[in-house]
Amino acid sequence: MKRFAIFAVLLAAAPGAALAADAEAGRAVFKSQCSTCHSPVQGKNAVGPSLFGIVGRTSGKVEGFHYSEANKAAGLTWDVATLDKYLTSPKTVVKGTIMSYAGVKDDAKRADLIAYLETLK
Ligand code: HEC
């Protein structure tokens, strides 16, 4: 959590500089943890919806993807704070989600991952 707080401050202060290193590490986290179900490419849905442009997007809005009722009704904005909570424990934030993924428990890895997700635009 502490590392995330620092990351959030850096993000606000100097996005470019703070993101470079973290996003690269986050790309590897994405590859090993998310890419079996999610593509970073716009319009490419797989088991899960494309994560292109995910940061700042409203939940359940990827065209052509069949979400669960839970995800459709969640009414979340995927900002950094919400993604941090969700990616810690998806089922806690979206009860009834069909994303069968336990979560990224390591704070630093999660912050890196979210930095990578921010580059997908
Ligand atoms: C086993 C497959 C699987 C894995 C692994 C997985 N996801 Fe998902 N994800 C899904 C599915 C399926 C959904 C749609 C959930 C629903 O409709 O309830 C989803 C939904 C999401 C959403 C919400 C999208 C939206 O438009 O509202 C986000 C954000 C997300 N996943 C991020 C991630 C990240 C980041 C990882 C890696 C840490 C990950 N997921 C790992 C299958 C997966």
pLDDT of residue 121: 95
Model pLDDT, residue 89: 98
Mutational pocket test of ligand 1: of 27, 29, 37, 120, the residue with most ligand atoms within 8 Å of the beta carbon: 37
Closest approach atom of ligand 1 to CA 86? 29
Nearest CA to 18 out of 26, 29, 9, 27 is that of 9
Best CA proximity match to 55, nearest among 28, 89, 20, 80: 80
Cα 73 from Cα 4, distance rounded (Å): 28
Q: What is the mean pLDDT of each run of 10 residues along the chain (121 residues)?
A: 57 48 91 98 98 98 97 98 98 98 96 97 95
Using a 6 Å cutoff on CB, does residue 52 contact ligand 1?
no
